[in-house]
Amino acid sequence: MEEKVKPVKFVRCGKICVVDPPDLSVSSGDTVEFVNSTEAALRIFFAKRDLFDAELASVGKIASVKLHVKASPPLRPVVYHYAVFCDETDSFAVGGSNPRIILNP
């Protein structure tokens, strides 16, 4: 079976770091690739370990990291909020509002 990789990109926009897309829909078994296009390290904080079996991921400058969706398929969509701290801007990245990943049944 071919791996489904869904990208989330972090880019610098003026004085802020932006998450694109701000909302990402995934299914159990997918892989999310967090792509850092900035010149600084990023730290991604997940409120729960349920989705990726991790609470923190680090992405170096101009680099990426892949995380596999470990959560079991839910009965209805489940929303996971996360935060991304950008060393370059010394602030949290934005995506319209706080970025989130939606796990679908």
- The Cα–Cα gap between 72 and 28 comes to 6
Query: Per residue in 8-51, pLDDT tens?
Result: 998 888 878 888 998 999 999 999 999 999 888 899 999 888 89
Supply the pTM of this predicted model.
0.88
| Dihedral sign computed on CA atoms, order 33, 52, 18, 20 | positive
Q: In which band, very low, low, confident or very high, does the pLDDT at 98 lie, cut at 50, 70 and 90?
A: confident
Q: In which band, very low, low, confident or very high, does the pLDDT at 82 lie, cut at 50, 70 and 90?
A: very high
Give the number of other Cβ atoms within 10 Å of residue 56's Cβ.
9
Q: Tokens 């909020």 correspond to what residue?
A: 81
Instruction: Report domain extents, the chain.
Output: 5-104
Predicted local confidence at residue 95, as pLDDT: 57
Reply yes or no on domain 5-104 having CATH 1.10.10.10: no
